[in-house]
Chains A and B, each alone.
Chain A
Amino acid sequence: MAEPLLSIRDLHVSYGNIKAVRGISLDVEEGQIVTLIGANGAGKSTTLRAISGLVRPSAGSVVFRGMELSKLAPHRVVEAGIAHVPEGRGIFANLTVYENLKLATYSRKDRDRIPADEERVFALFPRLKERLSQMAGTLSGGEQQMLAVARALMTRGRIMLLDEPSMGLSPILVQEIFKVIAEINEAGTTILLVEQNANMALKVAHHGYVLQTGEIVLAGAAEDLASDPRVREAYLGG
């Protein structure tokens, strides 16, 4: 079997005295959707933030395409090919929609490929195309989430980290965002998805990990997890 695209070994992250992540190991195979599910405070977001370099792990390694990421500055991690859609979307409300997309190409060397990527993003999110010159802060919650994903696509990462993309969205919009996630994956981007909506996440994912108080308690194929009684009881409402 080929080397996984992203591989985390024995990752520990602490905020002061609080140990948020205690020795997580996980692999993300190229082309897959891998999901990290678990309750609030289980350490899901912290894991993503450690991959991106937004927090420094106290121990462990994050290897992406053979490169150790855990010592890199966050903007270098993006350059290495990791796109991160943060929790709460993190769009720049004081910039236009187009400026939000353009800023995401800041460190790209392949500038001649940007127009094609723009076209791809507009095809995926036609509503954003209609609102390019609008301030991003005037978008609806669903549109802001679309913009956050579109922006991550513009960094042209090989893998996209998605942190709670369904948060605060209506059921119809949740369906829509998961449809987009599947489309992006089919087009070749590997995805590491953090979700509280375990039901939806396990439907779209190939592989899953269940996190509890900073540790992985279960792992397996997404469909096996979805039918596992322990997962059903704890995260899928029985």
Chain B
Amino acid sequence: MAVILQQTLNGLQLGSVYALIALGYTMVYGILRLINFAHGDIFMIACYIGFFASGAFLARHLPTWAVFASTLLTSMVLTALLAMLIERSAYKPLRYAPRVSAVITALGVGLFLEHFTLATLGPAPRAIPPLLPAANYNMGGLTISSLQLMIIVISIILMLLLDTVVQKTMTGMAMRAISFDKTVVPLMGVPVDRIISLTFAIGSAVAAAGGILYSQAYPIINPYMGVRIGWWAFIAAVVGGIGNIRGAMLGGYILGFVEVFTPTILPSSTYRDFVAFTILLAVLIVRPTGILGRVAAQKV
């Protein structure tokens, strides 16, 4: 029983990170019908920004919480700017090209980010220093670490914030309108290009937050770390219903639980990719639009 509770907590921690990354896939897909395959590598860049930022802030002897907060913010802002730059230079020129061109470009951008990092920073893994207090509390055989709680709580706050932005603000309304019919939105006085740019920025900033939180639990980073995590977050987005914000959150937690419970049920954790892709295929067969995805709305 204690093991299950323990693993549930671990699943929530990992699921929070997958959910934060999955949001970026789902938001971009929602408005552009584009799977941004570079998103996992943007997550990786966010971790590297976190590595250098935390080093710089630690050198200034700030209190640890301040180092964490400034690292988180720095990574979110710089990653958002990078994503806007990628959108402007790589995707925007293809706005009216066939979708497959944009998808191939996204794969190319991802490879570029990986190998640019590899070429400039080298293949050696680096470790992000611990920035969050790591006290352990024992409750009837269950070990709860303050780190775990922080990761889960910060993630949930970010997700609630994002959900509020999408549901309540003018920008969120514009995003949802674009996802329904991009051609009419400019007639409402909405600058569509700016909304698309903002969507990339927000999705990537949230993934960056996921990266900094992830690196507090799993501090080793390398240029290829975005590949597997990116794929998992992508599966999370599709399982939850791509284009659907709450679906991405749900999918993230499902994938988090898959990862932690696979070694408990199956002989080894190496089965986890197999389980994740099996779930992806099963969902696609039974419910091609994902768990919370709606059947594409009919336009009259």
Contact = CB atoms under 8 A, between A and B. Distances in A.
B299 to A, nearest CB: 7
Given A54-B183, A93-B180, A95-B177, A78 B189 contact: yes
Interface in A67-125: 73-75, 78-79, 83-84, 86, 88-90, 92-95, 99, 102-108
B190 A106 contact: yes
B262 interface: no
B174 interface: yes
A144 interface: yes
Contact of A92 (B170, B176, B191, B192): B176
Contacts of A53: 186
Interface residues of B, number: 21
Nearest to B299: A93
Contacts of B176: 92, 94-95, 99
Interface string A142-164: 00100000010001000000000
B184 A86 contact: yes
B261 to A, nearest CB: 35
Contact of A75 (B170, B183, B190, B299): B190
A113 to B, nearest CB: 15
A52 interface: yes
- Give the interface centre of A79, A103, A155 by most chain B CB atoms within 10 Å: A103
A90 B177 CA distance: 10
Nearest to A88: B300
B173 interface: yes
A102 B180 contact: no
Main SS of chain B's interface residues?
A: helix
Contacts of B186: 52-54, 73-75, 78
Given A52-B187, A104-B188, A107-B189, A94 B297 contact: yes
Nearest to A156: B189
Interface string B152-173: 0000000000000000001001
A160 to B, nearest CB: 11
A101 B181 CA distance: 16
Interface of A: 52-54, 73-75, 78-79, 83-84, 86, 88-90, 92-95, 99, 102-108, 137, 141, 144, 151, 155
30 contacts: A52-B186, A74-B187, A75-B189, A78-B186, A78-B188, A78-B189, A79-B189, A86-B183, A88-B300, A89-B300, A90-B183, A90-B184, A92-B180, A92-B181, A93-B299, A93-B300, A94-B180, A102-B170, A102-B173, A103-B173, A103-B177, A103-B185, A103-B188, A105-B189, A106-B170, A106-B188, A106-B189, A107-B189, A107-B191, A144-B300
Given A52-B187, A73-B191, A90-B187, 13 more contacts: A54-B186, A73-B186, A74-B186, A75-B188, A78-B188, A89-B300, A90-B181, A92-B180, A93-B299, A95-B180, A99-B173, A106-B170, A106-B188
Interface of B: 170, 173-174, 176-177, 179-181, 183-192, 297, 299-300
Closest 4 CB pairs of A and B: A107-B189, A74-B186, A90-B184, A78-B189
